[in-house]
Chains A and B, each alone.
Chain A
Amino acid sequence: MRFIRTTAEKCWLVVVLVLLWWFTSAGSENVFFPPLATILETLWRDLANGLLIGYLGFSLGNLLLGLTFAIVIGVALGLLIGEIRWLREALDPFVNFARSVPQAALVPLIVGTFGLGPGPKIYTIAFACVFPILLNTIDGVRGIEPTIRRFGKVYRIPPARYFRRVVLPGALPQIFAGIRVALPIGITVMVVSELFAANRGVGFYILNSSSTFQMAQTWAGAVLVGIIGYAITLIFSRIERIPLRWYFTSGAMAK
């Protein structure tokens, strides 16, 4: 009973909003706001005939690769910079500057110059995603208790082992927080890079249908991007609980 109540509480607003959209747009003659039924039909048609599935694969593949690069580079650099004080202090203004560069500003340069292929898009996504991960990793390393550090020193744990068994796990909750911040940024850059110039991908689908005034398709693309964004966030919040189980159960969250 209680489960039903909380679920109802969580979902009624979504249902009401979708129904509102459905009925206000039903029979809409406005070219720019096609009926929701038409949008969903179009979405289903292009998903079913494989067009959008292929585009999705391209877009999400770029996102995944870009994110992987960002995680590897961000975590490795973050562990180093967080642990080595002079490096941290020397690099501080540069890191802060680089993360302030609007990610979309790089799209024309990288995508415009290197062409339509997946490579330039992956680089732009990686660059945009690396900073939240890097900064959070540094914070995570800084947050490790001094006592634990001293233990590492007293027991003369070799550096490689120290990084793997002490620093990395200690910073892990923050690292995941950084990845969570990076996800929507990555999705945005993925779409922007395809809206700028592409011949495949979900962003291309949106751009192509809007430039040929197929509004139902444009809306369908936007709805699809929204659903993907939300789904990825949900999936990630499930995945991150696995390596962080010790953290969630340790009560550190309660503080």
Chain B
Amino acid sequence: MTTFTIPITVPGAKSRGLSRRARLILSRLLVLVVLAGTWQLLYWSGALPEVAPDIGQIVTALAAVLLSAAFWVAVGQTLFGAFSGWGIAAVVGVVLGVAIGTNGFLSRSVGVVVEFGRSFPMLALMPVIVLVIGVNARMEILMVFLSCLWPILIQAIAGSRRQDQAVADTVAVFRISPLRRFWRVTVPGALPLISTGLRIAASISILVAVGVGVLSQTPGLGRQITMAQEASRWDVAFAYIIFAGLVGWALNSAIAAVESRALKWNRQEA
């Protein structure tokens, strides 16, 4: 299959009896060891800045952070802000998107506005919004909403716009009523694209929620990272960053799992 398959040389995997799965786990462990080892070597060589922790300190900090109440409160706050903003954006984006997408004239008209909104780094608006409504959860939710809206909107427009010619003809021939057509043809047709939009927006929501915390001291993961950095505690900051990544990863996999379950019927094309 692959042209440049390099035989796996994992220590301890010499016996051919080892299963593929075991070898995979071993090779992943090896990568982890190599990464940690490289870091440790850099630490010993003095190439890293003075505040940088060594592997032992990072592992200790990981455990300490995991056991601290502050961490779980921060995770809750960040997830709350991210989910609220994402949820509002999902409702607004899908409703607006389907309304725009099913109207040919509107969907041709919104192009520039939607493109502009998508390419606009919403966090740049934060100083303005902070001055207007202050540093609080509402501001965080608003920022997440503004950032999540565009991908959902774009996907919803694209999804409700795409229309198989054969389906359109069928609808016309059988004189299916517009309402029925909307619920039985347009909505199911748009769902796969909408769910992609929701997934993209979900990872954006975590990013923005953390970003808002970093910049504005809204309570949450982002603020904890800034505080750790200001206290020159790189080990704690590292632990928070690693957990922030894990939260995002878990969220992504969860949504992907829900999606593949809910949209099983869509897989038949593939």
Q: Which residues of A contact B (CB under 8 A)?
A: 6, 9-14, 17, 32, 83-87, 89-94, 96-98, 100-109, 112-114, 146, 149, 152-153, 159, 162, 183-184, 187-188, 190-192, 195-196, 202-203, 206-207, 210-211, 213, 215, 218-219, 221-222, 225-226, 229-230, 232-233
Interface residues of B in 10-54 (CB under 8 A from A): 24, 27-28, 30-32, 35, 49, 51
Partner of B109, one of A12, A96, A192, A221: A12
List, in ascending order, chain B residues with CB within 8 A of A103's CB: 207, 211
How distant is the Cα of A102 from the Cα of B214 in the complex, in angstroms? 11
A159-B245 contact in complex given A17-B113, A104-B210, A229-B121, C-beta closer than 8 Å: no
A86-B28 contact in complex given A184-B118, A184-B119, A210-B131, C-beta closer than 8 Å: no
Q: How far is the CB of B75 from chain A (nearest CB, A)?
A: 13
Interface centre among A17, A102, A152, A188 (most CB of B within 10 A): A102
List, in ascending order, chain A residues with CB within 8 A of B49's CB: 113-114
Q: How far is the CB of B165 from chain A (nearest CB, A)?
A: 14
List, in ascending order, chain B residues with CB within 8 A of A17's CB: 113
Q: How far is the CB of B226 from chain A (nearest CB, A)?
A: 4
5 A-B contact pairs sorted by A residue (CB < 8 Å):
A10-B111, A91-B31, A104-B208, A191-B124, A192-B121
Residue contact B3 to A218, C-beta cutoff 8 Å: no
* Majority SS at the chain A contact face: helix
With both beta carbons as reference points, the residue of chain B lying nearest to A203 in the complex is identified as B124
How distant is the Cα of A69 from the Cα of B226 in the complex, in angstroms? 26
**Is B183's beta carbon under 8 Å from chain A?**
no
Q: How far is the CB of B117 from chain A (nearest CB, A)?
A: 9
Interface residues of B in 67-110 (CB under 8 A from A): 105, 108-110
How distant is the Cα of A13 from the Cα of B108 in the complex, in angstroms? 10
Partner of B3, one of A162, A203, A219, A233: A162
How distant is the Cα of A222 from the Cα of B208 in the complex, in angstroms? 17
Residue contact B3 to A152, C-beta cutoff 8 Å: yes
How distant is the Cα of A190 from the Cα of B124 in the complex, in angstroms? 10
List, in ascending order, chain A residues with CB within 8 A of B230's CB: 108, 112
List, in ascending order, chain B residues with CB within 8 A of A113's CB: 49, 51, 229, 234
How distant is the Cα of A89 from the Cα of B130 in the complex, in angstroms? 44
Question: Which 4 pairs across A and B sit closest by C-beta, in order of nearness?
Answer: A104-B211, A210-B127, A100-B248, A101-B245
Q: How far is the CB of B90 from chain A (nearest CB, A)?
A: 20
How distant is the Cα of A221 from the Cα of B128 in the complex, in angstroms? 10
How distant is the Cα of A104 from the Cα of B105 in the complex, in angstroms? 38
**Is B185's beta carbon under 8 Å from chain A?**
no
List, in ascending order, chain A residues with CB within 8 A of B248's CB: 100-102
Residue contact A191 to B127, C-beta cutoff 8 Å: no
Residue contact B31 to A94, C-beta cutoff 8 Å: yes
Partner of A230, one of B51, B116, B206, B210: B116
**Is B170's beta carbon under 8 Å from chain A?**
no
Residue contact A112 to B226, C-beta cutoff 8 Å: yes
List, in ascending order, chain A residues with CB within 8 A of B222's CB: 102, 104-105
Q: How far is the CB of B251 from chain A (nearest CB, A)?
A: 8
Residue contact B119 to A195, C-beta cutoff 8 Å: no
**Is B126's beta carbon under 8 Å from chain A?**
yes
